[in-house]
Amino acid sequence: MTTVHNLGFPRIGARRELKFALEAYWKGESSRDALKATGAALRQRHWQQQSGLDLVPVGDFSFYDQVLDTSVMVGNLPQRVRGFQGDPLDNYFRVARGRSVQSDAEHTACCGVAAGEMTKWFDTNYHYIVPEFSADSAFTLDASRLLEQLAEARAQGVQAKPVIVGPVTYLAIGKAKDSSDKLALLPALLAVYSQLLDTLAEQGVEWVQIDEPILVTELDTDWQHAFNLAYHQLKACRIKILIATYFGQLQENLYLAANLPVAGLHLDAINGHDDIRPLLNLLPDHKVLSLGVINGRNIWKTDLSRVLDWLEPLAERLGERLWIAPSCSLLHVPVDLDSEQRLDAEIRSWLAFALQKLDELRLLARALRDGRDAVKAELAANAADLAARRASPRVHDPAVREAVAAIDANLGRRHSAYPQRADEQAALLQLPAYPTTTIGSFPQTGEIRQARSAYRAGTLDDAGYRSAMRAEIARSVREQEALGLDVLVHGEAERNDMVEYFGEQLEGYAFSQFGWVQSYGSRCVKPPILFGDIRRPRAMTVEWIRYAQSLTVKPMKGMLTGPVTMLNWSFVRDDQPRAVSCRQLALAIRAEVLDLEQAGVRVIQIDEAALREGLPLRRAEWRAYLDWAVDAFRIAANGVRDRTQIHTHMCYSEFNDIMETIAAMDADVITIETSRSDMELLDAFDDFNYPNQIGPGVYDIHSPNIPTREHIVQLMRKAAERIPPQRLWVNPDCGLKTRQWAEVLPALRNMVAAAHTLRQAA
């Protein structure tokens, strides 16, 4: 009998119940008990939805982030939050976002601190809170959260499989704040993991899933040795360990992974299918092999007959040693396709969300147990849906393919080199030293959301909606002028999401109603579904930007999302190379850039927030990705005249190791996140002379904390030690749509004051 299990389930809720509960608590509008009750109700529902699986994950639910949960569990919280006397959950939120709640009147436990650094979980759009280490880091077990969830699951009759982040991955993805050797902490950390596993064994747990995705990356000898050390020590624990790897191939780590002294190994058979055959020859006969046969990161239906073609011989060979699962946690896909009422019926027939993926797993298990004839009708329906997708004329556009085939190198070149462009732009824009700007969006107020909702419901007509959005744009312009910002933005009141807004206006995209995916904490995104060839039928932003520019004499940025970010933050079609889809997007964005320039827009920002997260996990594969990604950006950006200033923006990723590539994008100005890492990104400029202008983000917009003028001046002076002051901008680290005006205005006021201080000292 093949065991069917799951690695993790979406925790935000099918209707974003956790998001709303978190935000109500942070605002002081609900109690801690109400928040915890929402969490318990969601866990109960999610376990019920996974019924029929042989093993169900427990511990995958989090109020913010599973890596931060691990830091709490092993007692590794930053020094700045130790000694906190309030509820541990409030201290948890202080690490996550700098503050537990926003209302001092309602809560006493809300004193703000610097939030933990946040970055992308491997090559996904999920953000985790980076663990912080030092030479004197000590670890102490606090298994209360996991044990409470385990007790809840058992009370519900769940066949529970606790899920935890592995010790080696935990160390690898953290940062030593004092330049000490993280690996020196491994023995002390393992003592806590041993205690945890023994505690779970005492609770009668048979299997525990330990996630070690770092195994799909290139490991040097020390980190390979760390794996052997870790699991030879943990093998003494009285519990069966399933090591879970995902997001890539094991390759040279195959032998290491196969021979670790554990009871089972999970392999991502979507991204690491080529590892299966050699792994079969390496895996000891007593070990379980779990295969991720359903894509846990995309939303297309699985070709079930094709999977069975290669899975059936493995089932015959391995017998009960074969387990099947999704390739990774289902955290990265929406919950339930059945809740979609507005999604195009044809496209809907091609898709599978989390619950449907579990149905696919159950069907595969039935086929392996009872034979294909037992599920003949289901397999035929699956094959018919896949064939209809392949044949659909909506997927293929010959004109778009001809345009991509006609791309040549000249399309990606500016007319002149940066120094000449910079002179022309300086003469035209007449900006002061340390020019100030923001990243693009301003708060999405309740009024904006209500107008958008009424417009979509048909209770507000087109004229009324446009009037409401114009009023919000005018407010953003007035506030920026009052603040004294130098380059303004229109605030993006009319935009729901930086990818969805553009996708809705491009042919080749479709949109779900409830396809929410967690990005970080309470922040959810609804990735568009890129199902076909991409075409821009008409201008998308010109009317709004032209209106905003008419309200001010200051430069108004045209705001666009770049092709690489459009790609990486969408559910992308799997029937052609991603590079081809990206070039199609580049041509569409290029047309918009040229229309903005024609409309008199002098500054155009093309955000590439997701450039870094698309980077392959293995350095050997970086060059190919970076070549086509940079090429796509340059195609989109470089048709303009020299005097038009091109900006780009990137956030919350590790950029130090691709600075040469970022420079090759040849944007006139790049704004980049640096505030949460205390300008650590700027270490890259010790060895690399970045040639163009840069705005290192000085205001952490993902925290409610308001930066002081003195703090911003300090950060900018750090930047000026590495980058000539005449090439520095002053700006937040990301867009402001998730904040409130009451937070934004004092923060930006301090930012502008800091710029004035810097100018006076220059």
Distance, in Å, from the CA atom of 66 to the CA atom of 96, rounded to the nearest integer, reads: 11
164, 196 contact by CB (below 8 A): yes
Q: Is 419 exposed, middle or buried (0-12, 13-18, 19+ CB in 10 A)?
A: exposed
Show Cβ contacts of residue 361 under 8 Å, excluding neighbours closer than 6 positions. 4, 6, 53, 293, 294, 324, 325, 326
439 is in an annotated binding site: yes
729 is in an annotated binding site: no
**CA-derived radius of gyration, the chain:** 26
Beta partners for residue 244, in sequence order:
211, 266
Q: Is 702 a catalytic residue?
A: yes
CA–CA dist 665, 694 (Å, integer): 13
Residue whose tokens read 């599978």: 352
Beta strands in 85-169 (DSSP E): 118-120, 127-129, 132-133, 160-165
Residue 569, marked binder: yes
Give dist(CA 58, CA 41) in Å, integer: 14
In this structure, are strands 240-244 and 288-294 parallel, antiparallel, or unpaired? unpaired
The DSSP symbol for 519 reads E
E strand or H helix at 718: helix 709-720
Catalytic residue from among 273, 702, 711, 756: 702
Establish whether 18 is an annotated binding residue: yes
Contact by Cβ (8 Å): 614, 629? yes
What letter represents residue 426's amino acid? A
582 is in an annotated binding site: no
737 appears as a binding residue in the annotation: no
Q: Is 524 annotated as a binding residue?
A: yes
The tokens for 71 are 């830091």
| 16 marked as binding residue | yes
Please tell me whether 706 is known to bind a ligand.
no
Find out whether 267 is annotated in a ligand binding site.
no
Number of helical (H) and strand (E) elements in the chain, helices listed first: 26, 22
Check whether 177 is labelled as a binding-site residue.
no
Q: Name the token pair of 116.
A: 């933990």
673 annotated to a ligand binding site:
yes
Within 10 angstroms of residue 727's Cβ, the number of other Cβ atoms is 16
The tokens for 72 are 């709490």
List C-alpha distances in Å: 357 to 49, 292, 295, 362, 581: 12, 11, 8, 9, 25
How open is the CA angle 139-142-148, to the nearest 5 degrees?
160
- Going by C-alpha positions, the residue among 59, 65, 30, 66 that lies closest to residue 43 is 59
523 known member of a binding site: yes
Q: Quick check: helix, strand or coil at residue 232?
A: helix
Let me know: does 500 contact 490? Beta carbons within 8 Å.
no
**Is 492 marked as a binding-site residue?**
yes
What does the alpha-carbon distance between residue 440 and residue 452 come to, in Å, rounded to a whole number? 19
State the SS3 of 656-679.
HHHHHHHHHCCCCEEEECCCCCCC
Q: Is 111 annotated as a binding residue?
A: no
In angstroms, the Cα distances linking 75 to 184, 197, 233, 452 are 17, 16, 20, 44
Strand-strand pairing, 571-572 and 603-607: unpaired
Query: Annotated binding site for Zn(2+), which residues?
Result: 649, 651, 673, 734
Residues serving a catalytic function are 702
Query: Annotated binding site, which residues?
Result: 16-19, 120, 125, 439-441, 492, 523-524, 569, 607, 613, 649, 651, 673, 734
Query: Annotated binding site for 5-methyltetrahydropteroyltri-L-glutamate, which residues?
Result: 16-19, 120, 125, 523-524, 569, 613
Query: Annotated binding site for L-homocysteine, which residues?
Result: 439-441, 492, 607
Query: Annotated binding site for L-methionine, which residues?
Result: 439-441, 492, 607
